């Protein structure tokens, strides 16, 4: 009797030429003949401190993020009873894990503050937009999303690679927190192939509304705040999680949205005061005409046309678009779509192409936002 062999498809998901390594998978390798090559940027005696303005202000933003997470996690534990957590499907073990998340934030805040020295910011006063445990979990899920992505956006550009190493090893734990909040909500925790990085100004635009007041000691965050953008028909992550049965390690929930969905936006005019330092929202572009919706997930930005833009009686603007489709690797239908997970949308004046390392250039095209969009 012939031996039975289970055959499987071993063809690559993506042709090697699409990976950017040339015509073969080995095209990007260095064949110098040396073992254990050392980076040209290797520093034998690193100094863990912020020597440049870029490093200082990027890390200053990072500490503001860590401090609100520390306060937030402790606040949730203090605000809600064990029974209220139980009503949301969470046990005392889950509460203990959330308490440990807060302890992690102590470590993160301390290590980043050490890089800044005496000028590191202190804890501020905060305001949170929730009344129930599930609403609190949703806010945590979104806060950790823009906190994580905000770091990825500037981490490889830090002038002192020693700072980047410290920050990398702290943000890796925040990524795990973000997945846990999705599990507690009852939705698919691992739903994307790549995490997006955002410019510092995008992260500060999302974070600043929840910081009410800061000590006079603090040096203001040096990044722009863009006009507030709101998704008026936001997909309901809480409802989907409840329908799926509540908290779970894994939930095979379907996407909350799909290509072709009509999405309605509302955004403010520039010039409003926002955040703890009296900063005015602004548009950096000379051309302030809203034309497109930018969708950021994974590596690149996808655009859709912004339609029917009108000004409301209270000075705000409204418009809509249709959610785009598209694949991460467009030449292979088995790859994931570019619109998925907890992602970012913004109103822009152009549909220019950006890549992960130069995405900060989108600041010059941003008219409003970003806003979180719960695509899946």
Q: Consecutive 10-residue runs of the chain (376 residues): their mean pLDDT?
A: 44 50 52 75 91 97 98 98 98 98 97 97 98 98 97 97 96 94 94 94 99 98 99 96 90 88 98 98 97 95 98 96 92 85 97 96 98 95
Q: Is residue 29 part of a domain?
A: no
94 contacts 184 by C-beta, under 8 angstroms: yes
Return the pLDDT at 31. Answer: 58
99 contacts 73 by C-beta, under 8 angstroms: yes
Q: Is residue 24 part of a domain?
A: no
- Count of the separate structural domains present in the chain: 1
d(CA 346, CA 128): 23
Return the pLDDT at 8. Answer: 46
347 contacts 290 by C-beta, under 8 angstroms: yes
d(CA 318, CA 103): 42
Return the pLDDT at 20. Answer: 47
Q: Per the omega criterion (within 30 degrees of 0), is the bond before 346 cis?
A: no
| Residue 64 DSSP code | H
pTM of the model: 0.91
Residue 171 domain boundaries: 53-374
Q: Is residue 11 part of a domain?
A: no
Return the pLDDT at 9. Answer: 47
Q: Do you know the residue count of the chain? A: 376
Residues contacting 38, CB < 8 A, separation 6+: none
Q: Is residue 30 part of a domain?
A: no
Return the pLDDT at 5. Answer: 41
Return the pLDDT at 7. Answer: 47
Q: Is residue 39 part of a domain?
A: no
- Percent of residues in the chain assigned helix, strand, coil, to nearest 5: 40, 15, 45
Q: Is residue 48 part of a domain?
A: no
Residues facing residue 311 across a β-bridge: 317
Q: Is residue 40 part of a domain?
A: no
Q: Is residue 192 part of a domain?
A: yes
């Amino acid at each position: 009797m012939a031996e039975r062999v289970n055959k499987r498809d071993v063809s690559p998901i993506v042709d090697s030429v699409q990976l950017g390594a040339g015509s073969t998978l080995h095209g990007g390798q260095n064949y110098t003949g040396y073992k254990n090559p050392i980076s040209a940027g290797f520093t034998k005696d690193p100094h863990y401190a912020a020597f440049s303005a870029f490093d200082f202000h990027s890390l200053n933003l990072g500490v503001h993020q860590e401090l609100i997470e520390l306060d937030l996690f402790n606040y949730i534990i203090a605000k809600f009873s064990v029974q209220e957590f139980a009503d949301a499907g969470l046990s005392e073990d889950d509460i203990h894990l959330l308490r440990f998340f807060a302890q992690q934030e102590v470590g993160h805040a301390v290590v980043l503050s050490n890089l800044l020295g005496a000028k590191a910011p202190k804890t501020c006063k905060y305001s949170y937009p929730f009344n129930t445990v599930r609403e609190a979990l949703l806010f945590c899920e979104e806060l950790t999303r823009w906190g994580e992505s905000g770091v990825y956006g500037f981490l490889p550009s830090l002038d002192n690679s020693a700072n980047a190493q410290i920050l990398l090893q702290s943000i890796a734990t925040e990524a795990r927190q973000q997945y846990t909040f999705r599990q507690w909500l009852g939705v698919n925790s691992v739903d994307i192939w790549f995490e997006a990085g955002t410019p510092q100004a995008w992260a500060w635009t999302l974070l600043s509304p929840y910081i009410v007041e800061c000590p006079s000691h603090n040096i203001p965050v040096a990044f722009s705040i863009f006009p507030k953008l709101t998704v008026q028909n936001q997909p309901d992550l809480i409802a989907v999680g409840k329908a799926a049965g509540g908290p779970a390690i894994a939930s095979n929930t379907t996407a909350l949205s799909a290509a072709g969905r009509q999405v309605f936006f509302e955004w403010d005019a520039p010039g409003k005061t926002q955040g703890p330092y009296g900063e005015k929202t602004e548009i950096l572009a000379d051309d302030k005409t809203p034309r497109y919706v930018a969708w950021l997930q994974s590596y690149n930005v996808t655009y859709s046309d912004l339609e029917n833009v009108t000004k409301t009686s209270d000075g705000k603007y409204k418009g809509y678009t249709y959610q785009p489709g598209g694949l991460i690797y467009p030449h292979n239908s088995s790859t994931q779509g570019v619109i998925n997970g907890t992602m970012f949308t913004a109103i822009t004046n152009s549909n220019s192409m950006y890549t992960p390392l130069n995405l900060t250039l989108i600041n010059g095209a941003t008219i409003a936002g970003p806003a979180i969009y719960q695509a899946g």
